C-alpha cells in the first residue's frame, strides 16, 4: 500500500515537470512510473536510455537475482 502511495506522489510530481532521482530494484514499480532508466552495476553506468528500451538481456545481466 505504501509503494502505491509513493508511486502516486511521484506521478504527481512528474506532472509538475519535476525530475526525480529514484533508486529502486523493483522493475515493475520502475516501469510504472519512470520514463528513463540508468542501470548502475559495480559503480558504473551500464545502461542509460528510455525505460521502454531496457532489454531482457540487460535486465538479466545486471538486475536479475
pLDDT digits (tens, 9 = 90+) for 21-43: 888 888 889 889 999 999 988 89
Which residue from 30, 3, 17 is spatially nearest to 38, judged by alpha carbons? Answer: 30
| Structure confidence at residue 58 as a pLDDT band (50, 70, 90) | confident
pTM over 0.75: no
**CB of 31 closer than 8 Å to CB of 50:** no
Residue 64 predicted with pLDDT over 80: no
Closest to 15 measured CA to CA, from 31, 29, 35: 35
Contacts of 37 (CB under 8 A, 6+ apart): 30, 47, 48, 49, 50, 51, 54
pLDDT at 65: 62
Amino acid at each position: 500500500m505504501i509503494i502505491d502511495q509513493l508511486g502516486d506522489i511521484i506521478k504527481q510530481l512528474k506532472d509538475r515537470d519535476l525530475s526525480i532521482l529514484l533508486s529502486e530494484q523493483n522493475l515493475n514499480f520502475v516501469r510504472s512510473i519512470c520514463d528513463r532508466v540508468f542501470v548502475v552495476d559495480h559503480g558504473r553506468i551500464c545502461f542509460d536510455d528510455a525505460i521502454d528500451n531496457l532489454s531482457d538481456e540487460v535486465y538479466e545481466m545486471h538486475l536479475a537475482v
